[in-house]
Amino acid sequence: MSTFYPYKDLVLDRNGHNLSIRLLQLLPGEDSSPINCTFRQVTLTSKSIPRFVALSYTWGAPPETKTILIDGIQFRVRENLFEFLLQARKRERGHWGKREKWKWLWIDAVCINQANLRERNHQVQNMARIYSNAWLVVVWLGLATPTSSAEISYMHPQTLHRKVVKKRIPGHPPERIQDLRLDDLCSRDYWNRLWVVQEILLARKLLV
């Protein structure tokens, strides 16, 4: 992950609290063009905050990184996140349908200055507020495999949590194609993350 991007400090409120976050705008582009983005700083308590998509995912293996551009500056991200950004850009072009647009994204690895310990601590304290304020939380499990469904679907947060918990308990062999797909998704590294339950259950709306 990049440690060289010149982040601007997040603004503190009058009480010294940090309720500001950075949102990442994914700019249009063709599949073969570089991933171009820009930052916007907003306050979580502001009535004028744009609706944004919060990403829930696993960072992936450290050695595997790709380059994106943020405000014209090179920024290294891990391969799993890079694949998500490629798919999100396709969605913006309408390849996934025109039901919704993802103009603003919140992604912890990018929107938080990981080299600034104080900022990281502030943002961790704001995680619940961030995910509950997002109009949509996207659970990114990685690219589809032959045994997983290539289609993305909307699901109630509690429904997803219940299905995953059941599938991860030993003694529940899959019986249908849908079960095989769910088993494949439930085996992803994503579910081993500490913050998964909070991110899912706080979502107003969830996309898997």
Dihedral, CA atoms, 133, 123, 11, 206, nearest 10 degrees? -20
The least confident of 21-35, 142-156, 165-179 is 165-179
Mean pLDDT for all residues in the chain: 75
Could you give the angle at the alpha carbon of 55 between the alpha carbons of 52 and 59, nearest 5°? 150
| SS3 assignment, position 74 | strand
Q: Is the pLDDT of residue 174 over 50?
A: no
Is the pTM higher than 0.85? no
What's the mean pLDDT in 105-134? Answer: 92
* Tokens coding 85: 């950004």
